[in-house]
Copies of this chain bind each other. A is one copy, B any other.
Amino acid sequence: MSGVNKVILVGHLGKDPEVRHLEGGATVVNFTLATTETYTRDGRKVEQTEWHNVVMWRGLAEIAAKYLQKGKLVYVEGKLRTRSYDDRDGNKRYVTEIVADNFNMLGRKSDNENGTNQSTASQNPSKPEDQMIGMNDNTEDDLPF
C-alpha cells in the first residue's frame, strides 16, 4: 500500500515525439530520452548514455507534441511502469517505461524556437493552489497495449 514510485530525468530527446490519437479521443505521446553520465575511469573520461522510454498522456501529451522535438533538453518527472506485450513470435516481452506526469523544457529560449515561452507542463498545469482541471476520458481501458 505505502508506495512511492518516482523517476526524475534530465536529458535530450532522441527523436521527435510520436503522437497517437486514440479512439476515445485521448492523445498519447512516446519518445526516447538520453541521459548521459560522465565519469573518470583509470584517468580516462568515459561517457555512458542510458536511453529511456517516456510516455505522456492527454493534456500533457498535447503540450509535448507541440513543444518537444528531437534534441531538446528536458526535465521529466514520472513513474516507472513495466508492461508486457507479445512479440511477433508470440513470446511475452517486457518494457519499462516512464509514465510522465510533468515535464519542463530546459535550455535557452532560443533553443525552443516554437514562438512561445511555454516551458512547464504537468497533468496539473495550473498553480497547485488554484487548480480546476477536468480531463477524464476513461479511454485507457481501450488501449491496444
Interface residues of A (CB under 8 A from B): 1-12, 34-41, 46-47, 49-52, 57-58, 73, 75, 77, 79-82, 91, 93-96, 99, 101, 104-109, 111, 117-120, 123-136, 138, 140
Report the separation of the CA atoms of residues A81 and B96 in the bound assembly, to the nearest whole angstrom.
10
A60 nearest CB across to chain B (Å): 9
A7 with B7, Cβ < 8 A, contacts A2-B107, A119-B2, A140-B130 known: yes
- A129 near B10 with CB under 8 A, answer no
Q: Find chain B residues with CB under 8 A from A104 CB.
A: 2-4, 10
Most chain B Cβ neighbours within 10 Å, of A2, A57, A93, A94: A2
Across the interface, name the chain B residue whose C-beta is closest to A87: B91
Report the separation of the CA atoms of residues A132 and B43 in the bound assembly, to the nearest whole angstrom.
12
- A106 near B73 with CB under 8 A, answer yes
